[in-house]
Structure formats: structure tokens, C-alpha cells
Amino acid sequence: MTDSPLDPVDRRIVLATQAGLPLVERPYHAIAEAVGIPASEVMERLARMQRTGLIRRIGAVPDHYALGYAFNGMTVWDVADDDIAEAGARVAALPFVSHCYQRPRLLPDWPYCLFAMVHARDAGAAHALVAEIAAALGPLSRGHRVLFSTRILKKTGLRLAG
Amino acid sequence: MPILDSIDRRLLSEFQRDLPLEPRPYAAMADRLGIGEAEVIARLARLSGQGVVSRVGPVFAANRAGCSTLAAMAVPPERLEEVACLINAYPQVNHNYERSHHFNLWFVVAAPRRDEVDAVLDDIRDRTGIEVLDLPLVADYHIDLGFDLQWN
């Protein structure tokens, strides 16, 4: 995946679709009308944004919380710099991990450089998932924490300002 | 949680990615499900109304549409409401969670340019007098295939 800058037309498409496609028979035509380009170009540009990685996927986005996945656990792992690529690949391969990122280690406050999100319906299920990650990492993990979300204070999703 | 029948569950599980880029994508979903296009649209509208589908559309990789970082703060419990309100007022903040840790406030700051992200973090530090951990993405290991929903 290579980063490609958003040209002004891509940007208008992002703005017109980031809250969702309209639930009408021809949603891309509706977007095309709003953006002022042909529908074929909307579909081509969305396909290109998928290829370049700007768009991860296009489809129905379930709300974990509404479906009862109330336990959102941010698991954080202390992994040696030399092991991070291997550790990231192992954790990312677990089907229940919804995000898996390397972030900076900020010593002394923050030794954890590998982040993996898990979602479960109760605390027991969440801890079972954490145990699976720990097993996948084995000795690559030098320590970990699970930070459950106790309150959502703001959640608006990605919004590109118009 | 609303009661979901087997078609609803398939709509949620099997169509999180690969919505066809063709003129009538909901008709293509309808063919796979063996129901009509109008019913797919009506069900998606109902599931959206019930809140179990947040939207149908593209999921953007946040870090590519501009610059963003994950920020964390250790806020004394008695100041949590005040600091959360202050942070939420920034339009550049799109997620803010209270979490069970000494670093108890975790939020995402996103802006078109890195200097704008830095300016928001500096401003929050100055106004609250509390240090802000700046944890931007270094590498993304995840291949996003959607979320593996378990029905029981």
C-alpha cells in the first residue's frame, strides 16, 4: 500500500460518503450527483482508494456496542524493538483482533509499543481473548496491560472537515 | 439488543466488506441472500435505525486521510469531567474514552497536518497542566477484513 494524497475530487467523495452511502437502489449515482461527476468515476475512484489503502473496506459497519460487545479492551504489549514485526504479524493474524498497531514506547511512563483491540460481550470472554494473544506472543511479550473502556466520552468516527 | 433474524445476521456478518462497486450494489447483496433488492434496502435502513449498523459505506484508514495520533492523559478522578469536556470541544478530537488505567483518558486527534495535531496537544497541556502522551501510529499490522461477529 502506498500513500497517495487526496486530490480535490477524492476529497469530495470522502466527504460525501464518510457518513455512509444512501440506502437507495443506485447509491453511487446519488453520490455522483452530489459530487458533480459521473457515477462511473465515483466507482473507479472508490476502487482506487481501496487499492491504495485509503479505504480499508466498503460494506455494512456494525456497531459493536449495539450488538452487545460492551467490553472494548485495548490490550498493550511490551515487545522488544527487534521482535515487533514478528509480534505484530502474530497478533494481527488472530481473527478477533480488530486493530493492531505499533506505537512509540515512551519510557519511563509507557513501555508498551504493540496495541491490539479486542471486543467481547463480557469480562470473562474478554480475558479469554487476551489469554489467546498472550499465548500467540509467548516469550515475545515482556509484559502487558488491558485497558477496558469504562465510558465513551466522544465518538464521531473519522470526519474530514469540509 | 434488538432481535435479529438469520437474514439480519448475515447482513451484518457477511457484508462488512466487498460491497460491489457496481450501479446496484444492494441488488447484488439481494442475489446472494435470495431476497429482493427492496428488502435488503429496507432491512439495512431498519438495522441503521436500531443502531446495530452504524452505516453502510467505506471505512477509511484514519492515518491516511491526514495526520492523527492517539493521546493519553492521567487525569485525577475529580478533574475527569472538566478535562473530558475541554478535550471533547476540539473538533479535531473524534474519539475519547475513559479507560481503566493510571492513564485514564484516551483520545484521537486528527487534522490535515501534523503541526495542527501538535498545536491541539500543546493547547490541551497548557490549559489543563497535565502531561499528554503522544502515541502516533508507527506501523499498522492489521488486515481489516471486518469484525468476526459471534452469534450464540
What's A126-154 look like in SS3? Answer: HHHHHHHHHHHHHHHEEEEEEEEEEEEEE
pLDDT higher for A34 or B63? A34
Residue A89 domain flag: yes
A43 and A98 assigned to the same domain: no
Residues with Cβ within 8 Å of B109's Cβ and at least 6 positions away in sequence, in order, are B68, B69, B71, B90, B92, B93, B117, B120, B121
- pLDDT at position B62, please? 62
A85 and A41 assigned to the same domain: no
A24 and A75 assigned to the same domain: no
- pLDDT at position A2, please? 40
Residue A157 domain flag: no
Contact B53 A72 (CB under 8 A): no
Q: Which residues of chain A are within 8 Å of residue B142 when distances are taken between CB atoms? A: 92, 97-101
B74-87: average pLDDT: 96
* Domains (range + CATH), chain B: 6-50 (no CATH), 62-135 (3.30.70.3460)
* Minimal C-alpha gap between A27 and chain B (Å): 7
A19 and A77 assigned to the same domain: no
Contact assessment for residue B71 and residue B109, using Cβ atoms and an 8 Å cutoff: yes
A44 and A89 assigned to the same domain: no
Q: Rounded to the nearest 5°, which phi and psi values hold at B24?
A: -120, 75
A75 and A142 assigned to the same domain: yes
Q: Residue A107's domain spans which residues?
A: 71-148
Chain A / chain B CB contacts < 8 angstroms: 231
Residue A30 sits at the chain B interface (C-beta within 8 Å): no
Write out residues 57-76 of A within 8 Å (CB-CB) of B.
57-64, 66-68, 72, 74
Contact A23 B44 (CB under 8 A): yes
Angle, alpha carbons A119-A121-A123 (nearest 5°): 85
A20 and A77 assigned to the same domain: no
A92 and A41 assigned to the same domain: no
Residue A107 sits at the chain B interface (C-beta within 8 Å): no
* Minimal C-alpha gap between B5 and chain A (Å): 13
pLDDT higher for A64 or A12? A12
**Helix, strand, coil: what percent of chain B each, to 5?**
40, 20, 35
Residue A155 domain flag: no
Q: How would residue A4 be classed by pLDDT, with cut points 50, 70 and 90?
A: low
* DSSP letter string, B26-93: HHHHHHHHTS-HHHHHHHHHHHHHHTSEEEEEEEE-GGGSSEEEEEEE---GGGHHHHHHHHHTSTTE
Domain count, chain A: 2
- pLDDT at position B145, please? 63
Residue A57 domain flag: no
Residue A66 domain flag: no
C-alpha to C-alpha distance for A71 and A124, rounded to whole angstroms = 10
* Minimal C-alpha gap between B83 and chain A (Å): 11
A31 and A99 assigned to the same domain: no
pLDDT tens figures, A93-140: 998 998 899 999 999 999 999 999 999 988 899 999 999 999 999 999
Q: What is the CATH number of the domain that holds A78?
A: 3.30.70.920
Residue A64 domain flag: no
Q: Which residues of chain B are within 8 Å of residue A46 when distances are taken between CB atoms? A: 21, 58
Residue A90 domain flag: yes
With 90 as the cut, is the pLDDT of residue B106 above it? yes
Residues with Cβ within 8 Å of A36's Cβ and at least 6 positions away in sequence, in order, are A12
Q: Which residues of chain A are within 8 Å of residue B27 when distances are taken between CB atoms? A: 25
Quote the ipTM score.
0.77
pLDDT tens figures, A7-23: 899 999 999 998 999 99
A118 and A87 assigned to the same domain: yes
* Minimal C-alpha gap between B120 and chain A (Å): 16
Q: Which residues of chain B are within 8 Å of residue A110 when distances are taken between CB atoms? A: 72, 103, 133, 135
A46 and A78 assigned to the same domain: no
A75 and A33 assigned to the same domain: no
Nearest-by-CA chain B residue for A160:
B65
Residue A81 domain flag: yes
B97-110: average pLDDT: 94
